[in-house]
Amino acid sequence: MLSGVVLVGSFTGFYYYFGALFGIKYSRFFAYMHLIYYNGGIWLTFVPMFWLGFSGMPRRIHDYPAVFMGWHSMASTGHMIALVGAAFFFLMILDSHIERRVVVYSTLGLPRWHKRIQYYIFKIRYLQLVNKQLNVLPNYKVRSFLTQHYFNEYEVFRK
């Protein structure tokens, strides 16, 4: 059951690094078809298998009772749909190499370090601005004197 999930992770990594591996864009149409058919097939395979196990079907047997035949047919259909999805994956690779659309990096081929550096520069400037605004406020001694003075005057007016 976990093999389908492992393959989904492998496909995800392959799509993520496709541009870096081959220097071309992948075909989005076949990628979407792969996503829809493969994930639909995985769900259609393993949900009936879950219900079969929940219904009490013993594991690792060659022959199963006829009452479970509908669920097994649905799981087999889901597996065939997942195979069609895997075929769309290979068609995506073929179509991408036929089209040869050049990938354009928004980072100009550099890794994403520049985004982190911009974030850190922003945080440093933000903290400098906050410190500048906080320096306008009086320090602790002045604030404590003002609060004591205010409360003393308040007590005078209350009496």
From 17, 143, 147, 35, select the one nearest 89 (Cα to Cα). Answer: 35
Distance of CA 133 to the CA centre of its chain: 38
Please report which residue ranges of the chain form alpha helices under DSSP H: 2-16, 18-22, 28-54, 69-99, 113-136, 140-158
Query: The whole model's pTM is what?
Result: 0.62
- DSSP 8-state secondary structure symbol assigned to residue 103: P
Model confidence over 57-82: pLDDT tens digits? Answer: 887 777 878 888 888 899 999 999 99
Which of 29, 34, 44 shows the shortest CA–CA distance to 10?
34
Phi then psi for 65, rounded to 5 degrees? -65, 150
pLDDT tens by residue, 128-156: 888 887 777 777 787 777 777 766 665 65
